[in-house]
Amino acid sequence: MTSPVRYDVTGEIAVITIANPPVNALGHAVRQGLWDAIDRFDADAEARIAIILGEGALFLGGADISEFGKPPKEPHLPDVCTHIERASKPVIAAVHGPALGGGCEVALGAHYRMAIKGARFGFPEVQLGLIPGAGGSQRMPRLTGVGPALDMMPAGGSVTADQALENGFIDHLADGDVHEQAMIYAKGLLADGVDVRRVGDLPCPAYEADAFDAARTLWTRKARGEVAPLTAIDAVEAATRLPFDEGIKEERRLFLSLMETPQRAGMIHAFFNDRKVSKLPELKGVAPRDIASVGVIGGGTMGAGIATACLLAGLPVTLVERDEASAEKARTTITGNLDAAVKRGKLKDAESTLTKLTTVTDYAALSDVDLAIEAVFEDMSVKHDVFTKLDAVMKPGAVLSTNTSYLDVTEIAAATSRPADVIGLHFFSPAHVMKLLEIVVPDTTAPEVTATAFALAKRLKKTAVKAGVCDGFIGNRILATYRGAADRMILAGASPWEIDAAIKAFGLPMGPFEMGDLAGLDIGFMTRQRKAPDRDPRDIVPKWADAMYHNGWLGQKTGQGYYTYEGRKGTPNDAVKPLIDEARGDRPQLDFTPEMIQRRYMAAMVNEAAKVVGEGIAARPLDVDVTLLYGYGFPRWRGGPMHWADSVGLDALLDDIKGWAKDDPYFWQPAPLLEQLVAEGRTFSDLNEASA
């Protein structure tokens, strides 16, 4: 088998090229190839200096993630980096694109580092539940001091080539072709008579108590239970107190301890799912239609957010509102969104972006757009009216989409003469910020329309998940059930504040009642009203929540809900307690621990998710995991609810559900798929693999 690492010599310069598409990951063959190339260079009488290059768009994408969790094979990456460093003649790392994780560590093993403008240096390991494990935490602070390492490693962050030059990470910055520039740099170093210069031989970086205290305070708050960011700080601190060889051993110990954690497994599950979610077998080879312009119908918060997302992606937008005043209001909202994007560094210039926005009051202006996204009031007759108008004006081949969050998309499509062109695009609020897009596909939709929706999502930099048609699709349907579990726990003795605290301790950014206050408690009330006609008599209604609505306690926007607010800071609202007591009546009360709360909440989530997968609303368990991660704040380090369920054991979860069903058989009906998997001794992960 040919090695992915080439060794060539031009004059006195050895060029070691790593060519392992698509991202030059440092898998076993690359590590062995690099090791052998350094041996060859050492023994090469002609070559006096070596350059390491990466072929393709990246320098090196880091360790090969697909090898994690399998028995490691020698040579290990830390040893490869030390082998480079121990070379008897100078080695240059010449970086033209992203150098990530182990890629940065290979560069740090070299004696000299140069970059081409546009290159980036990053340590994304924490996003995989890990820390730099091939000397990065020990070598980088020796070059830059602890500050830049503490900025990057716990955050999984990166710096530009300019910043890397400024902080001492690299020695030289050039513009142009990397091979040419590296040759020029190498010749210059040879002319200067430079020798090897080993980062590992540099003294320990100074210990900076303030920097470590500040980093620990920040990451204890931000990490919300994730261990890797704080471990990264420990590793950098080790560089300040241990000799290099000892520091490397400590880093390895910390790295390997993380490798064994469920958090690492969860985050790598999430990494691969991010990529699998848009790979649908039925879309293989299906070409999307071209989308060069978009129409948005409705300029409220949602419509304006969608228009902003499209404008940020460079798409011209025509926004239809019912009258001039509403159109003007939508323009003002979009302008505000774009200004905020400039402040966040997501956009250079709001003014030129706004030139791509047209606001109109006449549907005729949509006659030439390639795709329309309807974002009007959630009412079937209103949607019918909009889609009849769209059908009348839009050109043949255009895509007609609805942003409904629960209505039947098949029924909306039926209002047109072209149901094959109709699809659901369920954005999450704020639409220009939230990453999730549920693509709701009725049976009537043409495959190329689905492919077009996925292509649009990519352009908008959204993570898209395919969902089938049902009330709430994947995410909101599951949400309705675990919210239901929270309401039942209130009746059974837990307080809303205990539930919020337990759910946050599990790793979600907010509990369900804080979330309700933020979204507005009128939304929940309206949903209950909508569902009332079809409500099963065995279901419960949170009467205290209805009373809160009637009292005008709508959450943050009225200053009181489950919490009372000063600004955005809430304190538990004691006035809710009597309302809850009344609703509880003489029901038996349990003494809930945080673990009991988490278990019921999660079991409800997983059980409904299993129904969603079993009914084909989500194609695979991984689609549920991605939906909950990107749309509902599920902690990434737990992988997603289905991954979590596998890790705690489906049989134990089913036993719990059956136990609770004794008191509440209506709510705790086990999902047939869950029962089937337990009976067959299989997992959600097995289902993911079977669909690959």
Task: Tell me the C-alpha distance between 122 and 124, whole Å.
Answer: 6
Nearer residue to ligand 3H9 within complex by CB, 65 or 140: 65
Q: Which residues pair with 400 in a beta bridge?
A: 372, 422
Cβ neighbour number for residue 566 with a 10 Å cutoff: 8
Bridge partner residues of 94 (DSSP): 114
Please report, as ranges, the residues that interact with ligand 3H9 according to CB under 6 A.
22-23, 25, 58, 61-66, 77, 98, 100-102, 105, 124-125, 128, 130, 132-134, 136, 275
Closest among 16, 229, 252 to 128, alpha carbons compared: 229
Nearer to ligand 3H9, 92 or 106 (CB): 106
CA distance 321 to 180: 56
| Tokens coding 625 | 């995991």
- Residues 512/486, Cβ–Cβ less than 8 Å: yes
Residue 637 Cβ vs ligand 3H9, minimum distance, rounded to whole Å:
14
Q: Is 520 left (phi over 0), alpha (psi -120 to 50) or beta?
A: left
> Which residue, 264 or 418, is less far from ligand 3H9 as judged by CB?
264
* Min separation Cβ 357 and ligand 3H9, Å: 29
Task: Give the shortest CB-630-to-ligand 3H9 separation in angstroms.
Answer: 16
Cα gap 317→282, rounded to integer Å: 30
With CA atoms as reference, report the closest residue to 457 among 429, 427, 412. Answer: 427
**Separation between Cα atoms, residue 93 and residue 108, nearest integer Å:** 8
Nearer to ligand 3H9, 98 or 524 (CB): 98
Cβ proximity to ligand 3H9: between 25 and 189 the closer is: 25
426 neighbors 463 (Cβ within 8 angstroms): no
CA distance 419 to 403: 16
CB of 461 to ligand 3H9, least distance (A): 11
Shortest Cβ distance from residue 133 to ligand 3H9 (Å)?
3
Q: Which is nearer to ligand 3H9, 23 or 182 (CB)?
A: 23
State which residue, 228 or 491, has the beta carbon closest to ligand 3H9.
228
Q: Which is nearer to ligand 3H9, 66 or 332 (CB)?
A: 66
Cβ proximity of 617 and 605 under 8 Å: no
Q: How far apart are alpha carbons 137 and 146 in whole angstroms? A: 9
Taking the complex as a whole, the smallest distance from the CB of residue 285 to ligand 3H9 amounts, in Å, to 16
Give me the least distance between CB of 467 and ligand 3H9, in Å please.
Answer: 21
Cis peptide before 78 (omega within 30 of 0): no
**Least distance from C-beta 202 to ligand 3H9, angstroms?**
20
Token pair recorded at residue 3: 């090695």
Taking the complex as a whole, the smallest distance from the CB of residue 255 to ligand 3H9 amounts, in Å, to 6
- Residue 71: DSSP 8-state: P
Cα separation, 192 vs 171, in Å, equals: 14
Looking at beta carbons only, is 140 or 146 nearer to ligand 3H9?
Answer: 140
